[in-house]
Every structure is written in structure tokens, then in C-alpha cells.
Amino acid sequence: MPYKVTLIPGDGIGPEVADAAVRAVDATGVSIEWERVELSSKIIEESKTSVPQHVLDSLERTRLGLKGPVTTPVAGGFTSVNVALRKKLDLFANVRPVHTLPGLKTRFSDLKIDMVLFRENTEDLYAGLEHEIVKDVVESLKIITRTASMKIAEYAFAYAQKMGRKKVTAVHKANIMKLSDGLFLRCCREVAERFPWIEYKELIVDNASMQLVMRPETFDILLLPNLYGDILSDLAAGLVGGLGIVPGANMGRDYAVFEAVHGSAPDIAGKGLANPTALMMSSVMMLTHLGEHAASKKLHDAIGKVYLEGKTLTGDVGGKANTTQFTDAVIAAMNY
């Protein structure tokens, strides 16, 4: 029986990178029945909801999604699709692996960077509880709960144990936000006590930002509340080449949605310039989630081989290839 996966191409460059990822996954030999559902800024505006019912219906059937970028308006308009999906499906864990790609030249390419960021995905300032008290005075509420903090801490430590990771670093601002971030830290400490063989550290978020730039190779697993996780996961991506090459996963008890974390880049949409690496790498994570470890490794290694050879890379990482040529090269590397 084939696996059933909801494919949400998105808009902008989304359909291009989604088609590339589908081709790469299919080339691994794993049988997947793709249930394609359209979601774009236009559809959202017309339906007046960030996650229309047809998208939820598909995910309810498959419980597994692969998602491209969807344009989100800034300082107005509809709520972020990602935030809405995470809340509706209780995708409480955002998982972002960040590691050095072979052959890719960056300011940090001489270092071996290999970290995974675990970001709580459902609350904090992303609860969306904000209002204007009086004219030009706005209040936004930061929500931290024991339930959500324990779930993300337990998820991160369980991953560390399963994958043989050695260190978990909790990131916070509890020196200032003593109640909210203090609660998050207490939960992290409580879970850490159950895993005495895993080194546990804590860093204030501003110091963590500096340390990530100065000594990125020293980090293993980072455990963060929502806002800090959002910011530092992008910072970490910048260390290895940018958002165009790092994967992302939104995990819950019942659902999982794997996504490219970069934007929809409407300025290059339809030009064949998009780099599908991020969504391909997210597909690697999806295959691992399905238990298809050989296929996952096959695709991961093929992407690494194309980067190491450096002959068929897209423009954002210093090459001259288009989306199709890069995808062809990855598939050829799998079949070599």
C-alpha cells in the first residue's frame, strides 16, 4: 500500500520546489500517493481563513503533509498559514536540523556545524493575543504554559536519546521574564533530570545568539520557546548557507507537516531559479518519519553528492543551474 501524503505546493516558487521534491521522493522508490491541495494568498483571501477546510480535510485523511511556502502579508491581512496550521493540528514541536553541506562555501564552511533546534510551536507571543489599549498603545501577551513547555522539552530529550546526541541547551530570558521564561526553564530542568547521561546547559538568548556566531560548532541540540526559536533557527540557517537549504518539520501527536521554511520569493516565481534543497531535505525528514530509513539516506546522500561536486547548483548558492537541472542531478546521483 502506498503512503498517503497531503502535498501543499503553496504559491510563488512553492509549486516549483514542490514538484522538484516530489520527483526526488518518487525517485527513491518509495510508493507515495500524493493528495495535492491548493493553498495560496488568493485562496486565503477569498475563503477568509488562513487554513481553508479543504486543506484540513486532506490532512485529516493523511495525517501527513509536505508543504511549500505560502505568502504571508506583513503588518496586516490574514494570519500566517504556518501559525494557523500549528494551532489547529497541535503541531507543538518545530524541528529544524542545521548542518554543513559538503562542498558549499560559507564563512563557516571550515567548521563542522551539526545542530538541531527544537522550538515550541503553539504559544508564547504567537498566541496572537494583542490589542490596542488606547490609541497608539498596543499590548501583546506572552503565554507560557507548563503543558506546552513540558511537551517540547520531553520531545527534545527523547530525540537526543534516540539519536545519540550528547547535549541539550535551553535558551531563555528568565533573568528578565522571571515568571514566563522562568516556567519554561523549570520544565526543561525537570525533564533534564530524567536524562542524567545527556549534558544539560542553559543560555540567555542574547548570549546564545553571540555564541552561535562565535562557536557554532559547539552546539548540539537547542531547546527554545516560540519566539526565540523562530529567530535563532533562521540565524543558525545563515551559518550554513541560508534558508534555501535547511529543512523544517512541525510535529504533533497525531499529525506531521514537513515544510520549506523560506519565503515564497514571488520575484523569481516561474523563472526556474528556485533552489528546491530545503523542501528536498524536509522530504528526507518525512521519509525518516515514515520509517523509510534507506530511502531517506539515499536522498540525503544524493543531495550531499551534488553539493560536493558543485557542478549543478542553483544561483543562490553560487551555481548556474536551474531548478530542473539541480533536481535531475539529485536523481542521477541516487541512481549512480
Please tell us whether the domain made up of 107-240 is placed in CATH 3.40.718.10: yes
On the question of pLDDT at 74 being above 90, the answer is no
pLDDT at 41: 82
pLDDT at 45: 83
**What's the mean pLDDT in 152-158?**
98
**What's the mean pLDDT in 104-133?**
92
pLDDT at 75: 44
Q: How confident is the model at residue 80 (pLDDT cuts 50, 70, 90)?
A: confident
pLDDT at 50: 82
Mean pLDDT, the chain, integer: 94
pLDDT at 171: 98
Percent of the chain with pLDDT over 70: 98
**What's the mean pLDDT in 294-312?**
97
Contact 46, 54 (CB under 8 A): no
On the question of pLDDT at 200 being above 50, the answer is yes
DSSP-derived 3-state class of residue 170: strand
pLDDT at 84: 85
pLDDT digits (tens, 9 = 90+) for 244-288: 999 999 999 999 999 998 989 999 999 999 999 999 999 999 999
On the question of pLDDT at 1 being above 90, the answer is no
DSSP calls for 23-72: HHHHHTT--EEEEE----HHHHHHHTSSS-HHHHHHHHHHSEEEE-----
**What's the mean pLDDT in 72-84?**
65
pLDDT at 308: 96
Count other C-beta atoms under 10 Å from residue 290's C-beta: 16
| Alpha helix positions (H), the chain | 14-27, 41-47, 53-62, 81-88, 146-163, 180-192, 205-214, 226-240, 277-289, 293-309, 323-335
Q: Is the pTM of this model over 0.75?
A: yes
> Which range, of 18-27, 105-114, 220-229, averages the lowest pLDDT?
105-114
pLDDT digits (tens, 9 = 90+) for 206-243: 999 999 999 999 999 999 999 999 999 999 999 999 99
Identify which of 105, 8, 30, 10 has the alpha carbon closest to the alpha carbon of residue 284.
30
pLDDT digits (tens, 9 = 90+) for 37-70: 998 888 888 888 888 899 999 999 999 999 999 8
Strand blocks (E) in 68-142 = 93-99, 114-120, 130-134, 137-140
Listed by start position, the domains of the chain span 1-98+241-336, 107-240
Spatial distance between the Cα atoms of 4 and 32, rounded to a whole number of angstroms: 6
**What's the mean pLDDT in 168-186?**
98
CATH of the structural domain 1-98+241-336, one choice from 3.30.70.2740, 3.40.718.10, 3.90.1300.10, 3.30.43.10 = 3.40.718.10
pLDDT at 44: 84
